[in-house]
Structure 1
Amino acid sequence: MYKSDSHSSPQLNFFLILITTIAAIGGFLFGYDTGIISGALLFIQSSFSVSVMTQEIIVSSVILGALAGALSSGRLADSFGSQRMLLAMSVTFIAGTLISACAPTITLLILGRFIIGVAIGITSYVSPLFISEMAPARHRGSLVLLNGIMITSGEAIAFLVDYLLVPTQSWRLMFATGLIPAAVLFTGMLLLPATPRWTALKGQMEKSKKILARIRHSACVEQEWNEILRLADRQRSNWSDLFSKSLRPVLMIGLGLGVFQQFIGINTVMYYGPSIFKAAGFQSQSSQILATFCMGMVNTLMSIVSVILIDRVGRRRMLLIGLTVSGASLYLIGYVFSRHTHQSLDIWISFIFMIIYIAGYSMSLGSLFWLVISEIYPLNIRGLAMSFATAAQWAANFIVAATFLSTLNAFGPAYTFWGYACMCIISLVFCYYLVPETRGVSLEQIEHNLRLGKRSRDLGQPISALT
């Protein structure tokens, strides 16, 4: 049997909702600053007459920065806390945005994007960690997925801003709009406390319990406080502990989900959407960017649906359904491209299948990667392990972004999308055999199951006998 507080958890209070909303602005910036390049790239090409390889470098520079940020994020968050890190990253977002928007040369533009990438890499891990450690088990899935909604909302709004600013043909103005959410994050994080789990790990017990009392109903504080105390006594871990035999199963889950999230091709649409729709037959720049915006809106809407369903349907089922939908759609997209007709009907069929692909992705790996890695690791190793998983995700992201245009030119869109469909099948098998169902199970109980040596997919609800 497993413990669950799904029946005893109170309703969410205003302060906890405020915490989640402000922290999720970090997710919004993640989506906005990765999405804005999609339309800006069209006008950077004309400003600097850049080659295909230079375009890939501009796009992938932010990902290299994110990889560097992700590798350092675990230790930084363990040392300074996720609240302080989100505050520091808001300043980093502002600095990188100013350099990018004002860059007189490609070199400075790449530098500015790299700095933004560092902030994205750290924030992409710190935001869900902060929310997860603040949330009660009953609502943890929904609250962490609000960060995912903000990521997809950031992407969609970035595509809309690109579309609205097409008449100006100003990529500088497109980049500069990112200053607004960064300033909001900075202001908001000044108001928030550190998480009770982090303060307990730092020995600040009285402060930790006071924070917990602000975000929980009084009847639930003592039980959760005792669980935090039981785990806070454990020693801080290092890189060698991360690769220990007992942690390998969850390490493999985080690593695999991060890699598969990118290898099924999602960010080809987010970074190179206009180029893909140009290949599909959309003629004008405005129509290419508008089609990309529609993809972003579908991504956002399905993220909202995921929040509604996640604590009812469960993590595993949503992963398996979403990956099946995405894989089938990618195969059909490849088939339409293989016809080489560019007829009006085929253009719209490819667009519809692209929407279905985005919908399947959003309800599976798009949202659930960030949730699962915030749940499955022990408290004393959580920061380091999430950092490692996030770094793997950004490394895979870099490989896809840095090679997509070249792959498209070498093999054509049909074989490119069929390759992504194959990766969906592999990830589906991976999730079926390894990923646990953590719905309604406390973080402390998941850790207890891991230390008992239970199979990886039984770390939450026991499912081996059922599947």
Structure 2
Amino acid sequence: MSFIHDIRNSSRSVVVVALSAVALGITYGYDISNIAGALLFLETDLGLSSGELAGLATAVVVGQIVGALNGGWISNAIGRKLSMQLIAIGYVGFSVLCAIAPEYASLLAARFGLGITIGISLIVVPVFIAESSPTRVRGGLMVAYQVTTVAGIIAGYLVAWLLAATESWRAILGMAAVPAALVFFLLLRVVETPHWYLLKGRVRAARASLERINPGHDPQPLIARIEADLQQETGRLRDMFRGHLLRASVFAIGLGFFIQITGINATIYYSPHIFADLGFSGHAALLGLPAIVQFCALLAVIVSMFVVDNAGRRPVLLTGVGTMIVANTVLVAVFALSDGFGGWTSVVGFAAIVLFTMGYTFGFGALVWVYAGETFPAKYRALGASLMLTANLTANAIVAQAFPPLLESVGGAGVFGIFGALAAIAFVFIWFLAPETKDRDLDEIARYWANGARWDVPSITPDRTAR
């Protein structure tokens, strides 16, 4: 329980950062899963075709790509805090517009706008947390964002289940505004990150920010290190694809792509269809079972949150991906060997989906935010997170569009065989390229890449609190 102990002993500013991450995570997760329930009722209410239904699911993903491409420069231009506040406003506004949309075109536009908001948040939130957190709790706080994202996914399924009798898709989509409104008021109390202040040459404001985050610690040594790193950086996007940053960029883009191309969001967006193929039927099963899957996933990511700052990033990530490979192997066997689902085959298939999702949230789902916030030097941090999450969302869009026809053409065994092969490739990629950033200051991680992907000093002691 050292993570909880460290949070309790942190400054009030760090606690507010943690609460803000919690609220935004719930909103993000709810917006991922609520469309699965809403789609069950939208088709009849608005008279939509199957192509239009797929468009509503994909519009958010395309919007996320647009948001992720622009989130880096927006965050660098106006600051992490103001960006977070605008994100909260966007969540509220577009969720309400989704709820009151009179027809398909306006709903599609509102879903696209919501996607842009989500895309920007995926860039800004991990950077904001990384730059606002002491080293001893940085990893845990970023994994906490994934914990609450999974909680939000569960809430989306449960709300859809509870409202299934009323078929109120408007209420399902509109309720995402509630946690977003709460986070806006929380964000009024946070301080801008010291790294952004130094990025803008505001040394006095950076010192005040560090003193609020780490009261009682001398901020000057960290300010000196950050300023030294900033003087060696241009902050230009093209420089991320040459020299010592090329390897970091390859790692970030590859990790982001593998996180989604291995199929996790297919099991979220289309979970009712997957469970129907496994032999389940009825709203209680098709919406309740995905909620059970995500509850198990929540347990896995909570464990990840508590161990990531002690066990390290690499062991957690490799264990999660290895679990996904095992689960995919079981799913291939179930779909290949079963003549008709029912009884034990349905149970084993359901258990394999649970294992697959738990492996994802323990590894990929938790560590995406950690590496998005830690991998790059200060001037490139938001741009690097943008690269990683844009690759992530591009793979997400591919899976969202390709999964239904792929499932129809090659069947469950073929689809999960492909996902399993991709997970195996991801395992090898991580083994050779992922750095162990546990107990490392952000400026130390920057020097790791400059030093040819080698650490030039031993890792810090756990009681060191600078970032």
Aligned-pair Cα RMSD in Å: 1.9
Unmatched runs of 5 consecutive residues or more in structure 1: 1-7, 463-467
Q: Following TM superposition, by how much is the alpha carbon of 1:257 offset from its aligned partner in structure 2, in angstroms?
A: 0.9
Q: Following TM superposition, by how much is the alpha carbon of 1:194 offset from its aligned partner in structure 2, in angstroms?
A: 0.8
The 5 Å alignment of 1:162-241 reads 162-241=160-239
The 5 Å alignment of 1:88-107 reads 88-107=86-105
Alignment correspondent of 1:246: 244
- Encode CA deviations 1:141-180: one digit per residue, 9 max, x unaligned: 1111111112111111111111111111111110111110
Deviates more, 1:427-436 or 1:444-453: 444-453
**1:10–1:294 CA distance, 2 compared to 1 (3 A):** closer
Q: Following TM superposition, by how much is the alpha carbon of 1:319 offset from its aligned partner in structure 2, in angstroms?
A: 1.2
- Name the amino acid aligned to 2:339: H
- Encode CA deviations 1:84-110: one digit per residue, 9 max, x unaligned: 111011111122112211112111111
- Name the amino acid aligned to 2:165: P
The 5 Å alignment of 1:20-99 reads 20-99=18-97
**1:352–1:212 CA distance, 2 compared to 1 (3 A):** same
Distance in 1 between residues matched to 2:307 and 2:333, nearest whole Å? 32
**1:450–1:317 CA distance, 2 compared to 1 (3 A):** same
- Encode CA deviations 1:281-338: one digit per residue, 9 max, x unaligned: 1110221100011112122221111011101111111111111111110121122122
Unmatched runs of 5 consecutive residues or more in structure 2: 1-5, 460-467
Q: Following TM superposition, by how much is the alpha carbon of 1:192 offset from its aligned partner in structure 2, in angstroms?
A: 1.4
1:280 is the counterpart of 2:268: no
Deviates more, 1:333-342 or 1:209-218: 333-342
1:144 is paired with a residue of what secondary structure? helix
Alignment correspondent of 1:390: 389
Q: Contact 2:7/2:15 (CA < 8 Å) preserved in 1?
A: no
Q: Following TM superposition, by how much is the alpha carbon of 1:14 offset from its aligned partner in structure 2, in angstroms?
A: 3.0
**1:288–1:232 CA distance, 2 compared to 1 (3 A):** same
Distance in 1 between residues matched to 2:171 and 2:457, nearest whole Å? 47
Distance in 1 between residues matched to 2:9 and 2:279, nearest whole Å? 50
Q: Following TM superposition, by how much is the alpha carbon of 1:228 offset from its aligned partner in structure 2, in angstroms?
A: 2.5
Distance in 2 between residues matched to 1:9 and 1:127, nearest whole Å? 18
**1:379–1:460 CA distance, 2 compared to 1 (3 A):** farther
Identity %, equivalent residues: 28
Among 306, 320, 323, which residue is 1:325 paired with?
323
Deviates more, 1:274-283 or 1:25-34: 25-34
- Encode CA deviations 1:217-245: one digit per residue, 9 max, x unaligned: 41353332332232343454122112122
- Name the amino acid aligned to 1:413: G
Distance in 1 between residues matched to 2:361 and 2:339, nearest whole Å? 28
**1:169–1:459 CA distance, 2 compared to 1 (3 A):** farther
Q: Contact 1:9/1:136 (CA < 8 Å) preserved in 2?
A: no
1:36 is paired with a residue of what secondary structure? helix
Distance in 1 between residues matched to 2:8 and 2:45, nearest whole Å? 55
Q: Contact 1:441/1:460 (CA < 8 Å) preserved in 2?
A: no
Distance in 1 between residues matched to 2:19 and 2:301, nearest whole Å? 15
Alignment correspondent of 1:358: 357
- Encode CA deviations 1:173-209: one digit per residue, 9 max, x unaligned: 1011111011112211122121011011111111111
- Encode CA deviations 1:344-389: one digit per residue, 9 max, x unaligned: 1111111111111111111111110121121111111111111111
Alignment correspondent of 2:3: none
Alignment correspondent of 2:132: 134
Alignment correspondent of 2:344: 345
**1:29–1:459 CA distance, 2 compared to 1 (3 A):** farther
Distance in 2 between residues matched to 1:460 and 1:416, nearest whole Å? 45
- Name the amino acid aligned to 1:185: V
Deviates more, 1:104-113 or 1:18-27: 18-27
Distance in 2 between residues matched to 1:334 and 1:49, nearest whole Å? 36
- Name the amino acid aligned to 2:204: E
Alignment correspondent of 1:439: 438
- Name the amino acid aligned to 2:371: V
Alignment correspondent of 1:3: none
- Name the amino acid aligned to 1:356: L
Deviates more, 1:133-142 or 1:12-21: 12-21
Distance in 2 between residues matched to 1:241 and 1:168, nearest whole Å? 54
- Encode CA deviations 1:427-450: one digit per residue, 9 max, x unaligned: 000000110100001111111222
1:12 is paired with a residue of what secondary structure? coil
Among 108, 111, 129, which residue is 1:110 paired with?
108
- Encode CA deviations 1:20-40: one digit per residue, 9 max, x unaligned: 211342222211111111111
- Name the amino acid aligned to 2:229: L
Q: Contact 2:319/2:363 (CA < 8 Å) preserved in 1?
A: yes
1:454 is paired with a residue of what secondary structure? coil
- Name the amino acid aligned to 1:393: N
Alignment correspondent of 1:465: none
Alignment correspondent of 2:400: 401
Q: Contact 1:28/1:154 (CA < 8 Å) preserved in 2?
A: yes
Deviates more, 1:415-424 or 1:21-30: 21-30
Deviates more, 1:64-73 or 1:257-266: 257-266
Distance in 1 between residues matched to 2:334 and 2:368, nearest whole Å? 30
Q: Contact 1:159/1:296 (CA < 8 Å) preserved in 2?
A: no
Q: Following TM superposition, by how much is the alpha carbon of 1:122 offset from its aligned partner in structure 2, in angstroms?
A: 0.6
Q: Following TM superposition, by how much is the alpha carbon of 1:459 offset from its aligned partner in structure 2, in angstroms?
A: 8.3
Q: Contact 1:16/1:215 (CA < 8 Å) preserved in 2?
A: yes
Q: Contact 1:163/1:289 (CA < 8 Å) preserved in 2?
A: yes
TM-score (norm. length: structure 1):
0.93
TM-score (norm. length: structure 2):
0.93
- Name the amino acid aligned to 1:349: V
Alignment correspondent of 1:378: 377
**1:191–1:11 CA distance, 2 compared to 1 (3 A):** closer
Q: Following TM superposition, by how much is the alpha carbon of 1:116 offset from its aligned partner in structure 2, in angstroms?
A: 0.6
Distance in 1 between residues matched to 2:432 and 2:16, nearest whole Å? 37
Among 5, 11, 14, which residue is 2:12 paired with?
14
Q: Contact 1:449/1:460 (CA < 8 Å) preserved in 2?
A: no
- Encode CA deviations 1:98-137: one digit per residue, 9 max, x unaligned: 2211112111111111111001001012111101001112
**1:113–1:291 CA distance, 2 compared to 1 (3 A):** same
Q: Contact 2:95/2:114 (CA < 8 Å) preserved in 1?
A: yes
Distance in 2 between residues matched to 1:461 and 1:31, nearest whole Å? 37
How many equivalent residue pairs? 453
Distance in 2 between residues matched to 1:57 and 1:13, nearest whole Å? 45
